Structure 1
Amino acid sequence: MNYQCPKCSNTTYEVGQMRATGGTLSKIFDVQNKKFTSVTCKKCTYTEFYKTKTSAISNVFDFFTS
């Protein structure tokens, strides 16, 4: 990845993942159906989130492991 922080122009970063719940049904069944990838600058800790697709199987796995 050719990353440059938009705040401080640093080029070192960390990549992480985060899941979030969506509507009412996902809250009732505790299914996390929105997945985001984060990119965090190692110098100033500025973070950007990018939405990524989740598969049906990962939603089922989340349901049974919650």
Structure 2
Amino acid sequence: MSGGGCIKCGHTETDRKEVAMTGTGLSKMFDIQHNQFIVIYCKKCGYSEFYNKKASMGSNILDLFFGG
């Protein structure tokens, strides 16, 4: 569905979470979680997309998720 909802199931309700992940090398060894992402996911099927928190804005993310 182009711009009509989740690309997997077409559902139009989403939610978001912020997550942090370790990188490689020393940051992984010392569990330094400096990579931050916003996850937008479909409330029906759980399909998820990750966006770099530093490079994205909230409304733009939803446009990208829905293909708008």
In which range does the TM-score fall when normalised by the shorter chain? 0.5 to 0.7
- Deviation of 1:47 after TM superposition, in Å, equals 1.1
Q: Which residue matches 2:35?
A: 34
Cα separation, partners in 2 of 1:13 and 1:45, compared to 1, 3 Å: same
CA RMSD of aligned residues (A): 2.0
* TM-score, L = length of structure 2: 0.62
The structure that has the greater radius of gyration is 1
Percent identity over the alignment is 42
- Deviation of 1:19 after TM superposition, in Å, equals 0.7
Q: Which runs of 5+ in 1 are unaligned?
A: 54-66
Q: Which residue matches 1:10?
A: 11
Aligned residues: 52
* TM-score, L = length of structure 1: 0.64
Select the structure with the greater relative contact order (CA < 8 A; seq sep ≥ 6): 2
Q: Which runs of 5+ in 2 are unaligned?
A: 55-68
